[in-house]
Amino acid sequence: MTQSKACAVALTISYLLVAASAGNFYSDVDITFGGERAKILSSGQDLSLSLDQYSGSGFQSKHEYLFGRFDMQLRLVPGNSAGTVTTFYLSSQGAGHDEIDFEFLGNSSGNPYTIHTNVYSQGKGNKEQQFHLWFDPTAAFHTYTIVWNSQRIIFLIDNIPVRVFNNHEAAGVPFPKSQPMRVYASLWNADDWATQGGRVKTDWTKAPFTASYRKFNANANRVGPNSKSTSSENENQAWSTQDIDAAGRNRIRWVQNKHMIYNYCKDSKRFPNGLPVECKRSRFL
């Protein structure tokens, strides 16, 4: 076989694997609020959420998971998105819940979105890191990923790690590892705080606001009835031991140097009695 033919075959095979593992919104999620404002389109390949003066909208995964890799492609609300918050997160239910968040805080036209990340363990969060992006998240779809295993949580954007939250249970820091979580997504109004600290309000003359989701993929340990791993053998559950390698370390440093705008681990005013324990132990604050 010529090299180009071999290459074409390899590409075709990898395309099929991706296609086979990519989810379908009809089978994978339930609309949780907003009624007709949430729309599943193109036979389940796409999902759009919208927000107007009366309500936002949202959906959640049908299944619960304990560890996995969760990918979603999103195209955020274009134009004047001030006051809107688009989300993609994992959460358990009930008191003392665990949660792993990606939130996208809109902005007035021409000003950058803020990507807000947080981790809650046993009901306690206060571990925010925020970023600006190196691209326009409204112009095209980009992939946002949460890798959650027993050792760490990794946030990735287009496969570039932007944040790692390591398991520091040995030092007494709670880590989400025993409560199953669902995947959630929503678009809602938060103009009391989201944009420039709440100073910039939602411009309802531009409503409805719409964000689009596609290619939801959970390679994860499903729990509950019919529990099984959704990872195919080919994927070999790489997420379950996923760490940051040397290339990843360079990339996360680049993101943190150039694009991070807030880090709770650097906010000594907020923690007058000393920074949280994990801040002193992690290489990637």
Ligand X SMILES: *[C@@H]1O[C@H](CO)[C@@H](O)[C@H](O)[C@H]1NC(C)=O
Q: Which is nearer to ligand X, 106 or 180 (CB)?
A: 106
Total number of residues that touch ligand X (CB under 6 A): 9
- Choosing from 14, 93, 159, 196, the residue that interacts with ligand X (CB under 6 A) is 196
Q: Which is nearer to ligand X, 28 or 103 (CB)?
A: 103
Handedness of CA 244, 246, 249, 251 (dihedral sign): negative
Contacts 24+ apart (CB under 8 A), 91-95: 91/120, 91/181, 91/182, 91/184, 92/176, 92/179, 92/180, 92/181, 92/182, 93/182, 95/123
CB-based contact 168:277 (threshold 8 Å): yes
Q: Which is nearer to ligand X, 25 or 102 (CB)?
A: 102
Q: Which is nearer to ligand X, 29 or 77 (CB)?
A: 77
Q: For this structure, is 128 an active site residue?
A: no
Of 103, 233, 235, 278, which one is the catalytic site residue? 103
Stretch that binds ligand X, among 49-57, 184-192, 194-202, 203-211 (CB under 6 A): 194-202
* CB within 8 Å of 64: residues ≥ 6 apart: 180, 181, 182, 222, 223, 224
Rg of the chain, C-alpha, whole Å = 19
In angstroms, what is the minimal distance from the CB of 85 to ligand X?
9
Q: Which is nearer to ligand X, 41 or 261 (CB)?
A: 261
Q: For this structure, is 103 an active site residue?
A: yes
In angstroms, what is the minimal distance from the CB of 199 to ligand X?
8
Residue ranges with strand state E in the chain: 29-33, 38-41, 46-51, 57-61, 64-75, 84-91, 99-105, 114-120, 129-131, 142-148, 152-157, 160-166, 182-189, 209-223, 260-263
* CB within 8 Å of 177: residues ≥ 6 apart: 67, 150, 167, 169
* CB within 8 Å of 37: residues ≥ 6 apart: 49, 50, 51, 52, 55, 56, 57, 208
Question: What does residue 77 show for φ and ψ, rounded to 5 degrees?
Answer: -55, 120
In angstroms, what is the minimal distance from the CB of 107 to ligand X?
4
Of 64, 99, 169, 278, which one is the catalytic site residue? 99
In angstroms, what is the minimal distance from the CB of 93 to ligand X?
28
Q: Which is nearer to ligand X, 113 or 175 (CB)?
A: 113
- Choosing from 48, 60, 118, 195, the residue that interacts with ligand X (CB under 6 A) is 195
Cα distance between residue 39 and residue 201, in whole Å? 26
Stretch that binds ligand X, among 27-35, 156-164, 188-196, 205-213 (CB under 6 A): 188-196
In angstroms, what is the minimal distance from the CB of 155 to ligand X?
18
237 binds ligand X (CB under 6 A): no
94 to 133, contacts with ligand X by CB under 6 A?
105, 107, 111-112, 114
Chain residues binding ligand X by CB under 6 A are: 105, 107, 111-112, 114, 194-196, 261
> Which residues are annotated as catalytic?
99, 103
